[in-house]
Amino acid sequence: METVKRMSLGSFILPLIYPIFIFILFFLVSIKLFIIFTIENNYLAMSIGVIFLLFIIIPSLILHFNYYIIDRNKVLIIDDVTTEVKIIDKETEFTFRLDEVDRVRMINSKNYDDTYRMLMPWKTHYYYMICLKNDDEFLVTRLVVRKLEKLLNVRIVNKREAFPFISKTALKRAKNG
């Protein structure tokens, strides 16, 4: 049986639901505060709105755009019969077998805990680095595949970063970057 994973409309929109909900909630709170303080100072309402926009909403949109740019043309095909994995990216195909995989590094947020709750809205943004035994690495974000560890059934190493942005060094290490 062959499993084909690629970015779909659902996988694109799902990580944005929580940041948009937080934005709407604090936008409504800011409007309410703005109405309450119309007689006096409006700086409290405006500052709360700006703080949430700058430190919560914009970083999650930057992260989402970063993942979209990297994975917009990527297709992951896992064949259970031949235990072969294909990553097709921009008409370039990379193929390896499951027994060649050493580990999969899951890079996610530092405050991402085991109960999948956290304060920052980029909790749903993470990416995988598939590391082979010959030191080749392949990068796949959660926009293409969620729960890659269950599909590949290999050793997972969690790496936590404050902001799981895919840097140019990570792209240079990955063969499909």
| Higher per-residue confidence, 41 vs 55 | 55
**How far is it, in rounded angstroms, from Cα 4 to Cα 13?**
19
The pLDDT of residue 37 is 66
State yes or no: pLDDT of 96 exceeds 70: yes
**pLDDT tens digits, residue range 98-135?**
999 999 999 988 665 555 555 666 777 889 999 999 99
Range of the domain at 164: 1-177
Q: What is the overall mean pLDDT for the chain? A: 83
pLDDT tier, 66 (very low <50, low <70, confident <90, very high otherwise):
very high
Residue 18 token pair = 């929580």
Q: Judging by beta carbons within 10 Å of its beta carbon (0-12, 13-18, 19+), is residue 136 exposed, middle or buried? A: middle
Sorted by sequence, the CB contacts under 8 Å of residue 146 that are 6+ apart come out as: 11
**pLDDT tens digits, residue range 126-163?**
899 999 999 999 999 999 998 888 888 888 898 888 78
Q: Is 85 strand, coil or helix?
A: strand
- The count of structural domains within the chain is 1
pLDDT tier, 80 (very low <50, low <70, confident <90, very high otherwise):
confident
Q: Give CB contacts under 8 A, 24+ apart, made by 51-60.
A: 52/22, 52/23, 52/26, 53/23, 56/19, 56/22, 56/23, 56/120, 56/121, 57/19, 57/22, 57/23, 57/121, 59/120, 59/122, 59/163, 60/15, 60/16, 60/19, 60/120, 60/121, 60/122, 60/125
| Higher per-residue confidence, 120 vs 63 | 63
